[in-house]
Every structure is written in C-alpha cells, then in structure tokens.
Amino acid sequence: MPIPHRLVAALLIGSSGTLVMLSMLGTRWGGDWPFVIAAAIGAGASGFLYADCLGLPGRRGLGLCLLGAILTTVTGAAVAGLGLGIVVAMTPAGLFFGPMAVAQALLTSLPVLVTWIVTMTAAHLVMGQIRTRHLMPS
C-alpha cells in the first residue's frame, strides 16, 4: 500500500484510538490527557502498520477489517501502555496493562464498544473509498 494511503489509515485509526480513550475516561478526562495523547500515538502507529487490512471489498474484506481492528487495538494499546509505563513509572509493564485495560473496557462498557465499532467501521469505509476511487495519489 502506498505511503499516503498508510498515512490516512494512521490518521483514521489514531482518531479511533483517541475517541475510544475519551469514551473510556468519560467526561472528566482533563487530568488524564497523557492517556489520550498516548492512545492517539499508539493507535496511529498501529494504523500505519496494519493499513492493508482496511478498505477491501467483500467477505474477505470484512474479515480482514475485523482482524485489522483487533490487531490495531491490541498493538495500539500496547504501544500506548509501553510509552506511558516507561515515561511515568520507568517500567515496561504498560505493554501488558494497556491491552488489558482496553479489552476490559470494550467488554464491560457499552459506550466504549459502540465508539470502537463505529470508528473502526468508518475507517474501513473511508479506506475503501480511497482504494477504489483513487482519491489520493499513489
């Protein structure tokens, strides 16, 4: 996949990670801005990495989208947790705590799950339009 398309995927998945983190934190996220920034960076990096999973047509495309959504979520949370863990606590334990916290939130909070589903679906649809309509240079 061309680099401009990967950058769009990184932006889309980074936005998804940011919105999911905001829904996890609720209305009082002002003091937790490092988590929001870490989520944006981690999700963006994983979106760049797994951009090939987004925007493909048909059943295979939906399956790859689901796989990509799971991979970007786990990888993005791991990168975010690792970064926060090293900066805040001088330990790499966040590598494991990040994905566990996101998984727990997805399984127990309906607003978080809905945010994740809607943003990942939007990312898939936008990437599908970019792939098929050639909206960006290759």
How does residue 20 score in pLDDT terms, banded at 50, 70 and 90? very high
Residue 95 belongs to some domain of the structure:
yes
d(CA 60, CA 74): 21
Q: What is the mean pLDDT of residues 105-109?
A: 97
Residue 111, token pair as written in the block: 């607003």
**pLDDT for position 70:** 97
- pLDDT at residue 91 in the model: 79
Distance CA 12, CA 123 (A): 6
For residue 123, tell me if it sits in a domain. Answer: yes
Residue 115 lies in a domain: yes
- Asked whether the whole model's pTM tops 0.85, one would answer yes
Task: For residue 89, count CB atoms less than 10 angstroms from its CB and return exposed for 0-12, middle for 13-18, buried for 19 or more.
Answer: exposed
Compute the mean pLDDT over every residue in the chain, rounded to the nearest whole number: 91
Output the DSSP codes for 30-54: GGGHHHHHHHHHHHHHHHHHTGGGS
pLDDT score, position 30: 76
Domain limits at 78? Answer: 3-24+32-133
Q: Write down the pLDDT at residue 137.
A: 61
Task: Note the pLDDT of residue 34.
Answer: 87
71-101 confidence digits (pLDDT tens): 999 999 999 999 888 877 777 888 899 999 9
Q: What is the pLDDT of residue 135?
A: 63
Q: How confident is the model at residue 124 (pLDDT cuts 50, 70, 90)?
A: very high
Does 70 reside within a domain? yes
Confirm whether 138 is domain-assigned.
no
* Number of domains comprising the chain: 1
Structural domain contains residue 88: yes
Helices (H), 2-93: 3-25, 33-49, 58-84
Average pLDDT over residues 24-44: 88
DSSP H or E segment with residue 99: helix 94-108
- The reply to whether 62 falls in a domain is yes
